[in-house]
Amino acid sequence: MSAAPAFALPRRARLLPELVARHRGDGFLTPASIEAVAREVGVPAAEAWEAARSFHEFRFDAPGGERACAGIACALHPGFHEPELPAGCLFRCYAPPAFGDEQPFPAEMVRQAGPLLGPADRTWAGLERARRLGPAAVLDEIEEAGLRGRGGAYFPTARKWRAALRHGAPLALVMNAEEGEPGVFKDRALLCLRPGRVVEGLAIAMEALRPAVTIAFINGEADPAAEAFERALADSPIAGQVLLYRGAGGYVLGEETALLNAIEGRRAVPRPRPPLPVDSGLFGMPTVVNNVETLAAVAVILREGPAAFRAFGASDAPGTRILSLSGRVERPGVYEVPLGTPLAEVLDRAGSPAPEGLAVLCGGPSGGLLPGAIADQPVLPGRYHPTGAMLGAGGVVVLEAPGDIRRAALTMAAFNAEQSCGKCTPCREGTPLLLEALGGNPAELTEDLLDAIQLASLCGLGQMATGPVRSALAFWPEVFS
Ligand code: SF4
Query: What pLDDT digit, counting tens, does each position of 227-248 carry?
Result: 999 999 999 999 999 999 999 9
Pick the CATH number of 109-311 from 3.40.50.11540, 3.30.360.10, 3.90.180.10, 3.40.50.261: 3.40.50.11540
Judged by DSSP in three states, 472 sits in helix
> By the 8 A CB rule, do 323 and 334 touch?
yes
Residue-wise pLDDT tens digits, 269-304: 999 999 999 999 999 999 999 999 999 999 999 999
Q: What is the pLDDT of residues 74-129, one digit of tens each?
A: 998 988 888 888 888 899 999 999 999 999 999 999 999 999 999 988 899 999 99
Distance CA 143, CA 393 (A): 21
* Ligand 1 pocket residue status of 418, Cβ below 6 Å: no
Torsional class of 352: left (φ above 0), alpha (ψ -120 to 50), beta (otherwise):
beta
Query: 55 alpha carbon to ligand 1 midpoint, in Å?
Result: 14
Tens digits of per-residue pLDDT, 317-354? 999 999 999 999 999 999 999 999 999 999 999 999 88
- Position in ligand 1 atom list of the atom nearest CA 431: 2
Domain-by-domain residue ranges, the chain? 109-311, 321-481
Dihedrals φ, ψ of 327, to 5°?
A: 90, -140
- Ordered DSSP codes for 209-257: H--SEEEEEE-TT-HHHHHHHHHHHHTSTTTTS-EEEE----GGGGSHH
Q: Which of 424, 433, 464 to mutate to test the pocket of ligand 1 (most atoms within 8 A of CB)?
A: 424
pLDDT at residue 74 in the model: 93
Question: 421-447: string of b/e by CB count within 10 Å (b at 16+)?
Answer: bebbebbbebbbebbebbeeebeebee
Task: Evaluate: CB of 422 within 6 angstroms of ligand 1.
Answer: yes
The pLDDT of residue 368: 97
How many other C-beta atoms are found inside a 10 Å radius of the C-beta of residue 471?
29
Q: How far is the centre of ligand 1, averaged over its atoms, from the C-alpha of 382 (Å)?
A: 21
Q: Please answer whether residues 56 and 178 qualify as being in contact, where contact means their C-beta atoms are separated by less than 8 angstroms.
A: no
Across the strands, what pairs with 326? 397
Q: Ligand 1 in contact with 453 (CB < 6 A)?
A: no
pLDDT digit string, tens, across residues 14-33: 999 999 999 999 999 999 99
Are 109-311 and 321-481 in the same CATH fold?
no
Q: What are phi and psi of 6, to 5 degrees?
A: -65, -40
> Which residues, including other chains, have CB under 8 Å from residue 21's CB and lie 6 or more apart?
none
- Cα dist. 441→353, 407, 420, 462 in Å? 32, 15, 22, 21
CA of 271 to the centre of ligand 1 (A): 10
pLDDT at 118: 97
| 191 within 8 A of 198, measured Cβ to Cβ | yes
CATH code of the domain made up of 321-481: 3.10.20.600
Average pLDDT, the chain: 95
